[in-house]
Amino acid sequence: MTSAPATQNPLLIGDGLPLFADIQPAQVEPAVTQLLEDLEAELTHLEASVEPTWAGLVEPLTELHERLRWTWGVIGHLMGVKNSSELRAAYETVQPPLVKFSSRLSQSQALYQAFKTLRESEAWVALDAAQQRIVEAELRDAALAGVGLTGTARDRFNAIQLELADLATQFSNHVLDATKAFELKLTQPDEIEGLPESLLSLAAQTARDRGHDAATPEQGPWIITLDSPSYGPFLQYSRRRDLREKVYRTFISRAASGNLDNRDIIRRILTLRREQAELLGYSSYGELSLARKMAPDVAAVEQLLEELRQASYPAAEREFAALKEFAQTDDLQHWDVSFWAERQREAKFAFNAEELRPYFPLPRVLDGLFGLIHRLFGVTVKPATEPAPVWHPDVQFFQIVDGQDARSPTSTSTPTAVRPRSAAALGWTTASVVLAARSMARRAPACRSLT
């Protein structure tokens, strides 16, 4: 695998906005290799010279984490929005050494002891609440990363970490490939009966993207996929029950057969998670997972779920019975519920969801989202005043500023068009903006660990 020299590798910038247009899959392996070599040297130096103070421990460790997060975050982001066979191969090549370094970092005895010393020193009371929480989280996360293990137990724990990372990548790739592999090509008028113009337009665009250059919303052909903007409306509006069933059954059985079968992967993940939990002294992976969460134990989670079930189940039964009565059938299946629920709404309120579309164009939706963010977090989201590097022409770039002060902006990018073969990117839109706003609103130092 060849690439530009490391000094020219855009994945090694480590700060600011990624130069997406310059990043190629061939640059991933040399970038990560060089980065890990540099970080290994920095970690060794930090371990030898660490001081149990905020400035002597947390700040240099945060800088190390941030360099790793920046490069790996860009690669992971591109895996989600511009997935390709070349990028996958590069990702799978560098993932094992990266996981090994992450384990080495998390299990550093020198850093762990320094955090313990800081926690027990007189300097502790001088730290503010956010700083104390960061130190306590580092101690907790180190324990959960196996810092207390030795010998064969540590070796086994680290081997599990490697295998789980590989299995997670396989799982995600299988789901994505299975989603992309399915298409339902419609060519006859009866096959599109009930479908709204917006879905016909998307289906025709998908057909053009897949080689049917003459496809139009009026004449077809139309291609339905398992991506949410296609799958959801099709179940909602298609009057062809047989086609709804076909699409639904394919959707719920993605990556459950053939070369993309995830069932053995799921079983293996569950086995490894239980073994990992037991190595750390927990009776189940549920207990291990809750060690980082607010719920006190597994029983409390189950109790909450049962309370929700008891409160919601009778109402759900009544609503389902009413829907069956409206549909005039006792044979109401999963692929029928969305369709008949929409028909029931039309009958009750004399409108359908499609009629709301003109009232919610993208600019208005974004204005509403950004207004809500301002009310919640006191920050302002604005279109960037200068061009920014993006991974697709449809992406819009925004700045998040503290009130009206634009001197220290945070940034976020939002995909503004659905591309059926990379629709996973769409799910990041609201979450990325809100998380960036929350991060800026807190204005607290962060010491992140690779997960």
pLDDT value, residue 384:
81
Angle between helices 334-349 and 298-327 (to 10 degrees): 60
- pLDDT the model gives residue 397: 85
> What's phi and psi for 408, nearest 5 deg?
-130, 70
Q: What is the pLDDT of residue 342?
A: 94
Q: Which amino acid is at 331?
A: D
Q: What is the pLDDT of residue 405?
A: 53
User: What is residue 6's predicted lDDT score, i.e. its pLDDT?
Assistant: 46
What is the assigned CATH class of domain 6-148? mainly alpha
> pTM of this prediction?
0.84
The two tokens of residue 196 are 């709204």
**Which three-class secondary structure state does DSSP give residue 215?**
coil
pLDDT at 350: 84
Give the per-residue pLDDT at 412.
Answer: 57
DSSP state, residue 239: -
List the Cα angle 176/180/184 in 5-degree steps. Answer: 145
360-442 — its CATH code? 3.40.390.10
CA-CA distance, 289 to 95, in Å (whole number)? 23
Q: Can you give the pLDDT at residue 7?
A: 54
Strand, coil or helix: 261: coil
Q: How far apart are CA 379 and CA 445, in angstroms?
A: 18
Contact 308, 317 (CB under 8 A): no
What was the pLDDT predicted at 277? Answer: 97
Domain definitions of the chain by residue range: 6-148, 360-442
The answer to whether the beta carbons of residues 98 and 28 sit under 8 Å apart is no
- Residue 396 sits at φ, ψ, to 5 deg, of -100, 145
Residue ranges in the chain modelled with pLDDT below 70: 1-7, 403-451
Q: What is the per-residue pLDDT across 333-355, written as a single tens digit (0 to 9) for each?
A: 999 999 999 999 999 988 877 88
Question: What DSSP assignment string belongs to 87-145?
Answer: HHHHHHHHHHHHHHHHHHHHT-HHHHHHHHHHHHSGGGGGS-HHHHHHHHHHHHHHHHT
